[in-house]
Amino acid sequence: MITSIFLARLAAWRRYRQTFRELEALNDRELADLGIGRRDIRAIARQAAQ
């Protein structure tokens, strides 16, 4: 059971990092086209990880 909790948290952390990296790599124009501000990246990555 502890292993499954650990694996779930690890998967969520990986989703967070992947989303964060992909959004962080975009330039400001690309983010604006998506309606995202650079300040929103962490919150969006957290939502993706849930």
Whole-number Å distance between alpha carbons of 21 and 37? 15
Entry pTM? 0.88
pLDDT at 45: 98
Please tell me the distance from the alpha carbon of residue 6 to that of residue 43, in angstroms, as a whole number: 22
One pLDDT digit (tens) per residue for the chain, 50 residues: 789 999 999 999 999 999 999 999 999 999 999 999 999 999 999 999 99
Domain coverage including residue 11: 3-49
